[in-house]
Amino acid sequence: MCSIRVETLQGMPVSELQVEMVERKGIGHPDSICDAIMDRVSIELSKEYVSQFGRILHHNIDKAFLVAGDAEVRFGGGIVREPMKLIFGDRATDGLNGREVPIREIAIRTAKNWLRENLRFVDPGGPDTMDGPHMTYQLEIKPGSAELVDIFSRSTIGANDTSAAVGYWPMTETERLVRETEQFINSRTFKEEFPEAGEDVKVMGVRLGRELRLTSAVAFVDRFIESEAQYFRRKQQIYEAVMAFLSKRTTMDKIIFDLNTLDEPGRGVGGIYLSVLGTSAESGDSGQIGRGNKVNGVISINRPMGTEAAAGKNPVSHVGKIYSVFTHQVAQKVAEEVPGVREVYIWMVSQIGKPINEPVTAAQVIVAKGARKSAVERHVHEVVERELAGIQVFCRDLAAGKYSIC
């Protein structure tokens, strides 16, 4: 049986604090690339396991490194001198009962498909080639340890790690605006108007009282920029488009938006943020799994955060992934269903080998004035208990890719 504790917290919700800091790394950021590709590999591997064996087998593709390449930016279009390298790690079952699982082919095919779908100017290589003009691949995925693999053969699949996670709800306006700003800049309609805006977009939000300052870095694609003057002209137009977007989505007293603050006019390509492929991974910055956004899409400095890299972990036994996503889902259910809850945090911790539906669970809530704490706590307990009872359905959805983890 799981243990559920509910307690009320003193203090204010994060949205009422005087200082709040939130970050989001966009889809073309090197860390986000690692997270997204490795989680897609886990999803595709899970499909293959189910197809061949009727169940998901042991795998954790949660160690990955994107080695930056080398590129030369130029007005009108630069060149890639050395491709990026994507290194896949960790562990995956490569066969069972004499039948092999084509781990290497699945991993590389999945990476190429993701790159082709999400990074407009990256050529990941064709289906019949190992490497591409802009990306090479190194597979370091090995079979798992005997004891962890054996978990998947038992009548009840238990947790394959002793791990903790925390989720919360609701998101603050700052968190929402930071996430939506990046999503807007990386939207299809925005790219149609501003094709020079690359996918490597980073947004940092700092709220002081009711004033929000957003600082964004957007890699401009050099083939669309013929001169320094054109760069700054288009940068101003992007600024105006983002400010118009923000003005319709905020209740803040004031919003300040700063774009590419390292720029310095008069220094040519050395004084502006240009890229060949739209991502800094082409030459400026390597990437690593687990350093990107948390599973709710932001990195919120004011919130408690777990240390697990959820991307790429298996969705049926690795609680580092399951609880990281599940706690946010449960917190949302509590906040939406329990009257009097202003803010809620859900904590879960597993013990390796124990059933995943029996974590030690804590719910911490900030209660509205006038609400009866005992009634709120009882109702919260009921919601958490109900959601835990349905965790197997949640895991099936997680395995199918129905929850975004970055």
**Domains of the chain from N-terminus onward:** 3-15+162-171+292-399 (3.30.300.280), 30-151 (3.30.300.10), 173-288 (3.30.300.340)
- What would the pLDDT profile of 292-347 be if each residue is shown by its tens digit? 999 999 999 999 998 899 999 999 999 999 999 999 999 999 999 999 999 999 99
Beta bridge partners of 51: none
Are 165 and 348 a contacting pair, CB within 8 Å? yes
pLDDT confidence band for 154 (50 / 70 / 90): low
Q: From CA 101, how far away is CA 113, in angstroms rounded?
A: 19
Sequence letter at residue 320: G
Work out whether strand 3-8 and strand 360-367 pair parallel, antiparallel, or are unpaired.
parallel
Question: Dmax over Cα atoms in the chain, in whole Å?
Answer: 68
Are 47 and 260 a contacting pair, CB within 8 Å? no
Q: From CA 67, how far away is CA 390, in angstroms rounded?
A: 40
Q: Which residue has the tokens 């009422």?
A: 16
Full-model pTM = 0.95
pLDDT of 147 above 70: no
Alpha carbon of 142 to those of 85, 99, 172, 221, 241: distances in Å? 19, 16, 41, 37, 47
- What would the pLDDT profile of 178-187 be if each residue is shown by its tens digit? 999 999 999 9
pLDDT at position 167, please?
A: 98
pLDDT at position 376, please?
A: 96
Write the DSSP string, 328-366. Answer: HHHHHHHHHHSTTEEEEEEEEE--TTSBTT--EEEEEEE
pLDDT at position 406, please?
A: 85
Write the DSSP string, 112-169. Answer: HHHHHHH-TT-----TT-SS-SSEEEEEEEEPPPHHHHHHTTSSS-B-SS--EEEEEE
pLDDT of 150 above 80: no
Alpha carbon of 366 to those of 13, 65, 118, 371: distances in Å? 7, 40, 39, 10
pLDDT at position 157, please?
A: 76
- pLDDT, greater one: 150 or 185: 185
Are 263 and 238 a contacting pair, CB within 8 Å? no
Q: From CA 29, how far away is CA 14, in angstroms rounded?
A: 27
pLDDT confidence band for 129 (50 / 70 / 90): confident
Sign of the Cα torsion 236, 241, 242, 248 reads positive
Q: 18 in helix, strand or coil? A: coil
pLDDT confidence band for 151 (50 / 70 / 90): low
- What would the pLDDT profile of 271-292 be if each residue is shown by its tens digit? 999 999 999 999 989 999 999 9
pLDDT confidence band for 130 (50 / 70 / 90): confident
Compute the average pLDDT of residues 145-159: 65
Contacts of 60 (CB under 8 A, 6+ apart): 90, 91, 92, 144, 312, 313, 314, 318
pLDDT at position 211, please?
A: 98
What average pLDDT does the chain have? Answer: 95
Q: Which DSSP letter does residue 370 get?
A: T
pLDDT at position 182, please?
A: 98
Contacts of 230 (CB under 8 A, 6+ apart): none
pLDDT at position 1, please?
A: 57
Sheet containing strand 3-8, edge to edge, reads: 3-8, 360-367, 341-349, 164-169
Q: 399 in helix, strand or coil? A: helix
Retrieve residue 89's tokens: 């790690």
Q: Which residue has the tokens 């083939």?
A: 223
- What would the pLDDT profile of 49-82 be if each residue is shown by its tens digit? 999 999 999 999 999 999 999 999 999 999 999 9
Are 298 and 24 a contacting pair, CB within 8 Å? yes
Q: Which residue has the tokens 């597993």?
A: 350
Percentage of the chain lying above the pLDDT 90 cut: 91
Q: Which DSSP letter does residue 313 get?
A: B
Q: From CA 25, how far away is CA 161, in angstroms rounded?
A: 28
